[in-house]
C-alpha cells in the first residue's frame, strides 16, 4: 500500500506541473512538482521503485498536458473516441518512459551530499528531456523549462542555455528542495537549509540580472507585417463544398491587409498550388503589388507524385519557397510498421514529403526571414541553423486540429522561448490562434484573440547579433549534464571511522565484537 500511495502522489505531482505552463502560468508549480518527485525518489529503495515513481510522474504530466491530442484524432481524424483515448494514453505512457529512466537511475545511484545529489538529478533530467526531444524525431512538448517564460525570475537563462538548460536549473533547485525536505536530520537542523537557500537565491538573482542584458540589437528600419488569422473550422477546411468560400475569405483578408509583408497561415489554401486558378493568384498578388509588398502563402506544393507543406512568396521577392522539413509522425507521415494507424484514421494530406534540411531564409522586403511551419518551432536547435543570416523568424500554423484547448497557448509559450533563445522576433500567422508578435525578450506586445477572423498589423525590426545559445546550441548544457551525472555516480558515501585512541579506542574496540564489526563495515563502505 505504501508503494501505491507514493505512486499516486507522484501522479499528482506530475499533473501539478501542467498549470505551471500556459495558459495558467503558475510557474512556481514546476519547482514544486519536481521537488515532490525528488522527495519521493529519496525514499525509493531500488531502481524499480524509482522507475515506477518517474513513470507515474510522467503519466500525470502528459495525460493532463497533451490530452488535446484526443480532439485531433476523434473529432477531426475519424478515430473512434475510445480508440483515440487509448492511443493517446499509450503515447503518454511512452513519453513517461523518459522521466521513469531518470527516476530509476537516481534511485539506484544517488550518493553524496545534498548538493551532489541535486546536481545528479539535474543532469539526469537534462539528458532525458533532450532524448525525448531527439529520439524517434522527438516530442519536446512540455519540456519543463518552457514553464519559465517571463515573469519567471529564471527566464534570463533562455538566451544562455536554452530550454533544456533552463530545465536543468529548475531540476537542480527542485532537487535541493526535495532532498532537504526529505532529509529528517536536515528538517530538524535549520542550518542544513542555509546553503540551498543561498544557492536558490543566487540562481534567481542571476536569472533576473541576465534578463537585463542585451544580446542582440535592431538592424535597420522597422517595417510592417500583416499576420492573417483566417479562423476556418477544421471540419470545413477540406470540405469541397466550402472551397470557394475559403478562397473568398483569404482574398478578403489579403485585400484588407496593409503591411509591407502579408502572411497567410499554414495550408491557408487547402489544395495544391498548381491547382489554384492563375487569375486568383494574380488577384492576391495585385493587392500587395500596389505598395511593392510581399505575400507569403501557406499552401501545398508538389513535385511529381510527392507533395510538401510549404510557404510560397508572391509579389516582391516572388518565387521563393520553404517546405516543412520536420514532419509530425502519424499526422504528416507514417513511421515504419504503423501503416495500420491510417486504416483507423482519416487524416488529409497525411503522407507528406519533408523539405531539405537547413533551407535558406526568405528574402522579403530587404530582410532575411527564417520560416518554420507549425510544429517545427518546438525544436530550438534546428531553428538556430538559420542564424545569424536571418533577422526575423516566421511561423505559419494551423492548430484548429486541437479545438479550444491548451494547445494554442502552450504553442505561443514555446514561441516565446524560441524568441529568447535566438534573439529574434517570432512572427506567428495561424488559422485559429495564437496569431502574435513575440519580441526577443519573450514579451508579446500584440496578439489576436483566438477563434476570431482578422489581420494583426505589427511594426517590427530585424535583429542582428547572436545569443550564447544561438552560437553554441545544446552542446555545452549536455556536457555539463554528463559531468553532473558522472560526478554523482562516482561519489561514495564516506562513513566517519570510530576513534582508535583514548577512551573507547582500539583496545575497547577489539574487546567489543560489535564495535569491531562496525569498523569493518565502515572500511568496506569506504
Per the document, the length of the chain is 526
Q: Is 180 an active-site residue? A: no
Residue 523 CA to residue 497 CA, distance in Å, equals 8
Residue 377 CA to residue 372 CA, distance in Å, equals 6
Count of CB atoms situated within 10 Å of the CB of 336 = 5
Q: What angle do CA 430, 373, 65 make, to 5 degrees?
A: 75
Instruction: List the grid coordinates of 192.
Output: 542544513
Provide the 3-class DSSP secondary structure of residue 371. strand
Q: Which one from 237, 374, 376, 421 is the annotated catalytic residue?
A: 374
- In DSSP notation, 291-341 reads TT-EEEEEEEEEETTEEEEEEEEEETTTT-EEE--SPPBTTTBPPTT-HHH
Q: Buried b / exposed e across 481-520, counting CB within 10 Å, b at 16+?
A: beebbeebbebeeeeeeeeeeeeeeeeebeeeeeeeeebe
Distances (CA, A) of 47 to 41, 61, 120, 136, 378: 10, 21, 15, 25, 31
| Helix (H) or strand (E) run with residue 363 in it | strand 362-364
| Helix (H) or strand (E) run with residue 65 in it | helix 47-65
SS3 letters for 440-469? CCCCCCEECCCCCCEEEEEEEEEEECCCHH
Residue 478 CA to residue 480 CA, distance in Å, equals 5
Q: Is 374 an active-site residue? A: yes
Do the bridges between strand 367-373 and strand 269-272 make them parallel or antiparallel, or are there none, so unpaired? unpaired
Residue 524 CA to residue 401 CA, distance in Å, equals 61
Instruction: List the grid coordinates of 503.
Output: 577512551
Residue 486 CA to residue 216 CA, distance in Å, equals 35
In a 13 Å sphere around the CA of 90, the CA atoms on its Cβ side amount to: 6
Do the bridges between strand 426-430 and strand 446-447 make them parallel or antiparallel, or are there none, so unpaired? unpaired
CB 373 within 8 Å of CB 381: no
Q: Which one from 237, 324, 376, 421 is the annotated catalytic residue?
A: 324
Q: Which one from 42, 92, 237, 266 is the annotated catalytic residue?
A: 266
Q: Is 457 an active-site residue? A: no
- In DSSP notation, 178-223 reads HHHHH-HHHHH-GGGGHHHHHHHHHHHHHHHHHTT----EEEEEEE
Instruction: List the grid coordinates of 175.
Output: 532537487
The alpha carbons of the chain give a radius of gyration, in whole angstroms, of 27
Active site residues: 266, 324, 374
Amino acid at each position: 500500500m505504501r508503494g501505491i500511495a507514493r505512486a499516486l502522489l507522484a501522479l499528482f505531482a506530475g499533473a501539478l506541473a501542467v498549470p505551471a505552463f500556459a495558459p495558467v502560468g503558475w510557474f512556481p508549480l514546476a519547482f514544486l512538482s519536481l521537488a515532490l518527485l525528488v522527495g519521493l525518489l529519496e525514499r525509493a529503495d531500488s531502481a524499480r521503485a524509482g522507475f515506477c515513481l518517474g513513470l507515474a510522474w510522467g503519466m500525470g504530466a502528459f495525460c493532463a498536458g497533451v490530452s488535446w491530442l484526443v480532439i485531433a484524432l476523434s473529432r477531426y481524424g475519424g478515430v473512434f473516441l475510445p480508440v483515440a483515448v487509448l492511443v493517446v494514453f499509450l503515447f503518454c505512457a511512452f513519453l513517461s518512459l523518459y522521466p521513469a529512466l531518470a527516476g530509476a537511475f537516481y534511485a539506484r545511484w544517488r550518493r553524496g551530499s545534498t548538493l551532489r545529489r541535486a546536481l545528479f538529478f539535474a543532469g539526469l533530467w537534462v539528458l532525458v528531456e533532450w532524448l525525448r526531444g531527439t529520439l524517434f524525431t522527438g516530442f519536446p512538448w512540455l519540456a519543463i523549462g518552457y514553464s519559465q517564460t517571463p515573469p519567471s525570475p529564471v527566464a534570463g537563462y533562455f538566451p544562455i542555455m536554452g530550454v533544456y538548460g533552463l530545465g536543468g536549473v529548475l531540476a537542480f533547485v527542485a532537487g535541493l528542495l526535495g532532498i532537504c525536505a526529505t532529509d529528517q536530520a536536515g528538517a530538524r537542523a535549520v542550518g542544513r537549509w542555509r546553503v540551498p537557500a543561498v544557492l536558490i537565491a543566487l540562481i534567481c538573482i542571476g536569472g533576473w540580472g541576465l534578463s537585463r542584458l542585451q544580446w542582440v540589437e535592431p538592424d535597420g528600419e522597422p517595417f510592417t507585417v500583416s499576420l492573417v488569422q483566417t479562423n476556418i473550422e477544421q471540419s470545413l477546411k477540406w470540405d469541397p463544398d466550402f472551397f470557394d468560400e475559403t478562397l473568398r475569405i483569404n482574398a478578403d483578408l489579403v485585400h484588407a491587409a496593409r503591411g509591407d509583408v502579408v502572411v497567410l497561415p499554414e495550408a491557408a489554401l487547402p489544395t495544391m498550388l498548381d491547382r489554384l486558378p492563375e487569375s486568383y493568384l494574380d488577384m492576391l498578388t495585385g493587392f500587395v503589388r500596389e505598395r511593392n509588398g510581399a505575400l507569403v502563402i501557406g499552401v501545398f506544393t508538389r513535385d511529381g507524385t510527392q507533395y510538401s507543406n510549404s510557404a510560397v512568396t508572391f509579389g516582391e521577392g516572388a518565387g521563393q519557397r520553404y517546405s516543412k522539413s520536420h514532419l509530425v509522425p502519424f499526422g504528416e507521415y507514417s513511421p515504419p510498421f504503423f501503416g495500420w494507424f491510417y486504416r483507423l484514421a482519416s487524416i488529409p494530406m497525411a503522407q507528406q514529403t519533408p523539405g531539405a534540411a537547413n533551407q535558406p531564409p526568405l528574402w522579403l522586403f530587404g530582410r532575411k526571414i527564417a520560416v518554420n511551419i507549425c510544429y517545427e518551432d518546438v525544436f530550438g536547435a534546428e531553428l538556430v541553423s538559420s542564424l545569424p543570416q536571418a533577422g526575423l523568424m516566421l511561423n505559419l500554423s494551423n492548430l484548429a486540429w486541437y479545438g479550444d484547448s491548451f494547445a494554442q497557448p502552450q504553442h505561443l509559450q514555446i514561441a516565446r522561448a524560441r524568441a529568447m533563445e535566438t534573439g529574434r522576433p517570432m512572427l506567428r500567422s495561424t488559422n485559429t490562434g495564437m496569431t502574435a508578435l513575440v519580441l526577443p525578450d519573450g514579451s508579446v506586445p500584440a496578439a489576436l484573440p483566438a477563434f476570431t477572423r482578422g489581420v494583426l498589423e505589427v511594426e517590427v525590426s530585424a535583429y542582428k547579433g547572436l545569443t550564447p545559445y544561438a552560437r553554441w546550441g545544446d552542446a555545452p548544457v549536455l556536457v555539463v549534464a554528463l559531468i553532473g551525472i558522472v560526478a554523482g555516480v562516482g561519489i561514495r558515501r564516506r562513513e566517519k571511522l570510530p576513534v582508535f585512541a583514548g577512551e573507547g579506542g582500539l583496545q575497547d574496540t577489539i574487546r567489543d565484537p560489535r564495535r569491531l564489526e562496525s569498523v569493518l563495515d565502515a572500511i568496506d563502505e569506504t
